[in-house]
């Protein structure tokens, strides 16, 4: 089965925190153990650490790409290039501070392989405002220009940290459906990082994509979770009519705790089993596991 994950912070753990691969929730061995066909590695370029040296942070993470290639992983520019049985990866940006210097920077990072980008992380920047700060402030004029340039270049715009004002700006002023690379459902867990049902309906209507986050504090009120808890959020989106736009967005190596039975990428099979216990057939599971992401990028083309 083709399994895809649309968000991880492994390159940050390796390149900035200098973690050892064996310590990471995602490493080549664990990806193979979990039969993950396509892993998205985020390049974090927000203000956390390094005193706002966004370019330096992103460069340190980008240097880790070679480590993945040396370990036998295959870098792809389109999910359709990944194959079940191999382990491929794509690159994303979390926080677009590296775009603040001008729109030409977007093409530069696209040349480096970026295929999805979140305008903001948890801080206000030149593009917009995150959900952590307030709900209503929309994208800036520059943010709208940047989003349009991303979409022109085939970069999926990721709303996972964006506030509601910015989210709706994307639908009013963008021309391609956005994605949420690592988000959960606010109706199941009331947290500012989670998507409201109204937002989920918009993603369904316009053909977006939602990768459900594995972070227990986004999944449940008590901060405890297992694969069934993740399946509940996936099922909520499916019950709303989003069975063809939902998938996995682990946030591995960016979260300090994990579901009890999904502590690293090598245990992804446990999530597939939870979906089976939830009553999903193999065709539906194949879509959720990775097929829906393939179709989303076809819609962006």
Q: By three-state DSSP, how is residue 23 classified? A: helix
Confidence of residue 49 (pLDDT cuts 50, 70, 90): very low
For each of the domains in the chain, give its residue range(s) and CATH number, in order of start: 4-300 (3.20.20.140)
Query: Is there a contact between 267 and 32 (Cβ–Cβ < 8 Å)?
Result: no
pLDDT of residue 40: 99
Structure tokens at 137: 């402030």
Tell me the mean pLDDT in the region 263-269.
99
Confidence of residue 213 (pLDDT cuts 50, 70, 90): very high
- pTM of the predicted model as reported, rounded to 2 decimal places: 0.97
Query: Is there a contact between 36 and 87 (Cβ–Cβ < 8 Å)?
Result: yes
Share above pLDDT 70 across residues of the chain, in percent, rounded to a whole number: 98
For the segment 86-125, what is each residue's pLDDT rounded down to a tens digit?
A: 999 999 999 999 999 999 999 999 999 999 999 999 999 9
Characterise 43 by phi-psi region: left (phi > 0), alpha (psi -120 to 50), beta (else): beta
Place of tokens 């940290």: 161
Q: By three-state DSSP, how is residue 190 classified? A: coil
Query: Is there a contact between 124 and 166 (Cβ–Cβ < 8 Å)?
Result: no
CA 287 to centroid of chain Cα atoms: 17
Q: How far apart are the first and last CA of the chain?
A: 24
Asked whether the predicted pLDDT for residue 256 surpasses 70, the reply is: yes
């Amino acid at each position: 089965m083709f399994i895809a994950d649309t968000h991880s912070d492994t390159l940050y753990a390796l390149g900035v925190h200098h973690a050892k691969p064996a310590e990471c929730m995602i490493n080549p061995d664990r990806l193979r153990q979990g039969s993950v066909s396509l892993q998205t590695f985020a390049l974090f370029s927000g203000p956390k650490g390094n005193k706002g040296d966004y370019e330096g942070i992103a460069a340190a993470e980008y240097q880790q790409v070679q480590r993945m290639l040396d370990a036998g992983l295959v870098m792809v520019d389109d999910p359709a290039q990944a194959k079940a049985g191999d382990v491929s990866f794509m690159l994303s940006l979390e926080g677009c501070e590296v775009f603040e210097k001008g729109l030409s920077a977007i093409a530069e990072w696209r040349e480096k392989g970026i295929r999805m980008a979140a305008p903001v992380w948890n801080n206000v920047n030149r593009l917009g405002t995150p959900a952590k700060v307030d709900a209503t402030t929309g994208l800036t004029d520059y943010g709208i220009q940047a989003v349009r340039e991303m979409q022109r270049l085939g970069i999926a715009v990721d709303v996972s940290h964006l506030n509601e004002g910015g989210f709706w700006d994307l639908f009013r002023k963008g021309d391609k459906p956005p994605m949420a690379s690592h988000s959960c459902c606010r109706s199941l867990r009331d947290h500012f990082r989670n998507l409201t049902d109204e937002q989920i309906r918009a993603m369904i209507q316009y053909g977006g994509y939602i990768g459900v986050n594995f972070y227990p504090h986004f999944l449940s009120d008590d901060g405890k979770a297992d694969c069934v808890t993740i399946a509940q959020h996936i099922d909520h989106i499916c019950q709303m009519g989003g069975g063809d736009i939902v998938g996995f967005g682990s946030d591995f190596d960016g979260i300090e705790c994990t579901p009890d039975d999904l502590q690293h990428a090598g245990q992804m099979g446990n999530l597939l089993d939870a979906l089976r216990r939830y009553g999903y057939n193999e065709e539906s599971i194949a879509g959720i596991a990775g097929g829906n992401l393939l179709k989303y990028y076809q819609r962006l083309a």
